[in-house]
Every structure is written in structure tokens, then in C-alpha cells.
Amino acid sequence: MKRIIIDREKCDGCLNCNIACISAHEEGSNFYTVNLQSPDAETRNFIKFDVGKGYLPIFCRHCDEPECVLSCMSGALEKDPVSGHVQYDENKCAACYMCVMNCPFGVLKPDKKNRTKVIKCDFCDDKPDGPSCVKACPKQAIVVKEVNL
Amino acid sequence: MKIVIIGASAAGISAAKTIKVSEPETEVVIISKEDSVHSRCMLHKFLGHQRDAKGISFIADDFFETAGITWLNNTTVISLDPDKKTVTTHDNQTISYDKLLIATGAAYFIPPIPGLRESKNVYGFRDLNDAKLLDRECQTAKNAVVIGAGLVGMDAAVALLERGLNVTVIEMTKDVMSLQLDHQAARAYQQLFEEAGAEFILEDKVVSVDVNDVGRGTTIHLASGKAVPADVIVIAAGVRPAFNFTQGSGIKTNHAILVGDDLKTNLKDIYAAGDVTGIAGIWPNAMKQGRVAAINMLGEKLLYEDRYALKNTVNFYGLTTLSLGNINPEPEENCEILIREDRHNYQKVVLKNGIVLGVIMQGDIGGTGFWQYLIKNKIDISGKNKDVFSLSFADFYDLDQQTGEYKYAV
């Protein structure tokens, strides 16, 4: 499957990946027009800073054995057998947030506006040109690679 | 090989799926007493009329056909013969198996209170059938009483409020959801429910129920002397693992079916998973147990190690809470309790000698999944030299260079 591979030493914390993610989920917007103050402006990836280690990108791994899928009681989260990506169906989700509790890496979060859905990486719907965060990274700290499971 | 699974909820379905993904040619038969597969965590959405029966299913419509699984619904298993390797159903079918998985879950329990068990308008809130019966009562009832303010009781209450009934919740302890919350976190929910019209009677006990001449409970009497009128009564006072049909089979039990780490029972080729094992009454663990049992039934060796069960999330009226571990330690446990709060958040971390024993995160729970890892693996955070509330996975960050997956550096 395709996975966003992280080279944390290359990351310099510019947060272009955050903005690209928000824009990719705001219909019709681009890097310059995206409304970062909208209540819907939610990034699915995070860059943390540590004094010793520097910038630490936290991106959904679409894990081989996804804890979020195992915790899902509504069937909203499923690992796609073909792409290997963990897909989320907002209409099935009942917002119980056991997936938020079960993600060992703290990637998942409830939506800020209504707390009725989960904010989760969708791999930009497997578009042929790849996820928007990867395209937006000026340092190639995140790149898409095929990994064998 | 023929694998028979009894029960079509989290553990049973997760096992069936696992089997069909790894060995599609294995014959799988699922026997369930209900005629639908549904998530009991969404029953309140059904009773509250936000979703129909199909809307609370957690599998695809064509799940059984696509996976090639035989589903015997509306079928109750009444006995088990481990020597002949067969189970017998209520309608006298004898079904043979090579491997059997017992995933029959748990059933609600009605305490032996005078009048309560006899009343015809007393319902549990466990299965779709319970929700359907309650739904019918809601068409005429005005006053609903919920006995027990745990998560199930609160789920029932939120749905009954949604239906416009007068709802009174009676609870023995001094707070709602006392297993998951502390006093302050519980108060926040109680207030939201009260704003929606609910009334709470805490630290009180049902002592008797008046039953009228048509067998319906009408008035609930409490230890305090209070009397509460009821048209419909929901009992949410806990559940018990359901394994009556195993009587006489020689299976080892102790209020639950006993299993080893491989989820095998003491009987040859018989496994158990989910609530019936009493290991953990929570969805994610039942799913994982179903998966582990399935892999072992297929002849591989996999141990169920994730026994950590003191965990839950709560989401009522848009207020979200994560609760993990020991959140109400006794003074003699000598724990360090750290609290941080603002207008929208109440956060509590219970520590002892640098090990996190419990957390409550109420308000913003985004990204809090790492806490469970810290608690269940007893990670020492004393060396982090940092405000405990600002911890995240970044403080334990490591990557597997081969797969690109994260791992914990501890």
C-alpha cells in the first residue's frame, strides 16, 4: 500500500502541510484563498516541536492493524482491502469517539464545530497526484512510498 | 473446516470477517437470536428516532452474501455437546462444528426488588428488541424512570428525552456515570441532562414497585421515602455474561466463560470472545478478541494481551469526555492528582511515582489517544521534565524505518 513516509530531520515546521490539508477539505479553495478562520478549518496532520528532537510530524499511518477500525462500533471506519487506507464514512459515524481513544498516536480528533464526526486523513481520496500535504511540502520531509505489508 | 460462531455482535462478526479474509474457503456459520446485526452502542439513536434499524447496523447490507457466510438468525442455541461437537437450537436443529466460537455477549440483569421483575413495563436496553419494545411504550407513556445512571442508563435517558417523555433517573451512587467520571465531570453532564428536562435522584435506592391489576409497575418507591410515578421503566443496573446453554457441557466458568490468553476454553476446539468472557465489556476489546480467537481457530498462534478495559469515551449534548484507568483514587493510595481547567475543559491526571494511573479529559479530546498507551503500558513519564498536560505522542516519537509506522520510544 501507499504510505506517507516521514523523514523528520528534513521537517522545518513551516506548516504548509497543515494549510494544504485544510484547503484540500474546503471545496474550491487553494493555498491563497483558504479560510483558516472557518469553524470547519481542521488539519488532519500535526507538527509538534521538541527542544531536543526538533520538529515531529504526526500523520495518520493508515496502520497495518488499525486500532481505530477495531474500536469502531458503527462500521464508519474500514480498512480498504485494495488501497490499504483506512476510510471513514461520516454518515455511518455515531460520534462515540472510541477511535479517538484508541489511536495510540493521538492522530484522531472530534470535529471542533459540532462534535458529530471524526477528523481523519482520507489520503485525499487516493487522487492520482497524491495527498495534498505531500505536494505542499517544500522539503520532501513527507513523501509517498509503496510499502509491503 | 467448519467454524460455527454463536452471536452476531462485535466479537462474532469480527471473528467471521477475520476468518473469511485469511481463509475464504473455510465454512462459517453464524447463529444469532436476533434477526438483525446492530451496534448496541447506537440503540439510543434508534429509540430517539434519529436512525432506523438499518442505520444502526455496523456491517454492509450484503455482508453475509459477499463473505459467503451462512447466517441462522432468529435462532437460539439451547445446548452444547462437546463430545459429538454439535450445538442444538430452540427449533431442534443439530449443527455440527469443527471449531466453535461462543460470542453470546451478556444479558441485562433485573435486581430482585419486590414488584420490579413482575412488572410488564420493565425493559432492559441491550438489544434492538429492547429498543423496539421501548419504542412502542413511548407512543403512549408520559413518565419514564431509568434505574441506573451508568452509560447505558444515560443512553436510554437521552433517547427518552428526545421522545419528549418526563425522565427521572435513579442512581445509588452520588454521581452519574460514576465508573467513568469524577464528581466535577459528572456534574457537567448532569446539568446538560437537566437542561434537557431530566430529573435525577442520586444516592437513593429502589425498594419496591407498585404493580397494578394488569401487571404494570406504576409507582417506584425509594429508600428515602420518595415515590416516583412510572409508565415505563428502564433497568440499567448492569449485565451478566450469557452462557446458559453451556450447562452440563463441562465448560469452565466463573460468572463468565473462562478462557486462556489464546481465548480457548477448557473444552477441545471451543473458544470464547467478547462480553461472555468477562474480560472487558467494551466494543474495541470485543472486536480484538473476535479477531484473536479467529486466528487461533485457524491454527495460528496469537495471544490476546490487550486486557486493559478501564477506558471509555462519553459524548452527550456535544460534551465529550475521555476516561481512562483509576480516576477516583482513594486517599490511602497516595496518588498525585493534577487538575487543569478552563471555560471549556476539565482535565485530570492521576499519577503515582511517575506512572499515569488515570485521566479524565473533558471538553477537547482531540489527539488524546496516546494516554491509553501510557497507562496500559505503565510508561514512566517522570523523566519528561515537562507539564504533564502538554504531553503528546511527540514525547515518545519513533518511526519504524522499514514500514514507516510509528512506534513508542520509551
Which residues of B are less than 8 Å from A56 in CB distance? 394, 397
Q: How confident is the model at residue A148, as a pLDDT?
A: 81
A75–B320: do the CB atoms touch at under 8 Å? no
Predicted pLDDT of residue B280: 81
Asked if residue B303 belongs to a domain, the reply is no
Q: Whole domain around residue B171: which residue ranges?
A: 122-237
* Least CB–CB distance from B369: residue in A4, A94, A102: A102
Interface confidence, given as ipTM, is 0.96
Closest CA to A92 of A120, A73, A111, A79: A73
Name the domain count of chain B.
3
Answer for the pair B221, B207: CB distance below 8 angstroms, yes or no. Answer: yes
Phi/psi region, residue B355 (left: phi>0; alpha: psi -120 to 50; beta: rest), is beta
Residues B74 and B14 in one domain: yes
Between chain A and chain B, the number of residue pairs with CB atoms below 8 A apart is 139
pLDDT in tens, B77-122: 999 999 999 999 999 999 999 999 999 999 999 999 999 999 999 9
Select from B263, B224, B309 the least CA-distant residue to B102: B263
The confidence score (pLDDT) of residue A25 equals: 96
* Spatial contact of B288 and B10, defined as CB atoms under 8 Å apart: no
- Residue B112: DSSP 8-state: -
Helix (H, G, I), strand (E, B) or coil at B10: helix
Indicate which CATH number applies to the domain containing A71.
3.30.70.20
Contacts of B58 in chain A (CB under 8 A): 72-75, 92
Q: Among residues B269, B297, B325, which one ends one of the domains?
A: B297
User: Is A56–B397 a contact, with Cβ atoms under 8 angstroms apart?
Assistant: yes
Q: Which of A3, A50, A69, A70 to mutate to test the interface with B (most CBs of B within 10 A)?
A: A70
Q: What is the pLDDT of residue B410?
A: 86
Taking a contact as any Cβ pair under 8 Å apart, which residues of chain B between 246 and 285 contact chain A? 282-284
Percentage of the residues of chain A whose pLDDT score is greater than 70 = 99
Average pLDDT for A16-32: 95
Number of domains within chain A = 2
Same domain, B69 and B165: no
Q: Which residue, B215, B237, B259, sits at the end of a domain? A: B237
pLDDT bin (cut points 50, 70, 90) of residue A78 is very high
Count other C-beta atoms under 10 Å from residue B340's C-beta: 14
Residues B102 and B247 in one domain: yes
Residues of A in contact with B287 (CB under 8 A): 70-71
State whether B320 and A56 contact (CB < 8 Å).
no
Q: Count H helices, E strands: chain A? A: 4, 8
The reply to whether B306 falls in a domain is no
| 3-state SS class at A47 | strand
Contact A71 B399 (CB under 8 A): no
Task: Indicate if B192 and B283 belong to the same structural domain.
Answer: no
B6 CB within 8 Å of a chain A CB: no
- B392 and A103 within 8 Å at the Cβ level: the answer is no
Based on the fold, state whether residues B24 and B75 are members of the same structural domain: yes
Question: Do A76 and A47 reside in the same domain of the chain?
Answer: no
H or E stretch at A125: none
A55 and A66 share a domain?
no
Residues A15 and A54 in one domain: yes
Tell me, yes or no, whether B135 and B175 share the same domain: yes
Spell out which residues of chain A touch residue B313, defining contact as CB-CB under 8 Å.
96-98, 100-101
Residue B250 and residue B328 in one domain: no
Taking residue A49's Cβ as centre, other Cβ atoms within 10 Å add up to: 11
Residues B51 and B85 in one domain: yes
Q: Which amino acid is located at B191 in the chain?
A: Q
Q: Are residues A41 and A89 in the same domain?
A: no
For residue B262, give the CATH number of its domain. 3.50.50.60
Within a domain: B302: no
Same domain, B230 and B244: no
Average pLDDT, consecutive stretches of 10 residues, N- to C-terminus, chain B (410 residues)? 97 97 96 95 97 96 96 97 97 97 96 96 96 97 98 98 98 96 98 98 98 97 98 96 96 97 97 94 93 97 86 96 96 96 97 96 97 95 92 96 94
Query: Residue A140 corresponds to which cell in the numbers above?
Result: 520532501
B 296-355 residues inside an 8 A Cβ radius of A: 311-313, 315, 318-320, 322, 324
What's the pLDDT tens digit per position in B147-199?
A: 999 999 999 999 999 999 999 999 999 999 999 999 999 999 999 999 999 99
Q: Is the pLDDT of residue A149 over 80?
A: no
Residues A53, A66, single domain; the answer is: no
Q: Mark whether A38 and A87 lie in a shared domain.
A: no
The boundaries of the domain holding residue A9 are: 1-59+129-149
Judgement on whether residues B95 and B171 belong to the same structural domain of the protein:
no
Do A114 and A70 belong to one domain? yes
In a domain, residue B304? The reply is no
Residue matched to cell numbers 413482575:
B118
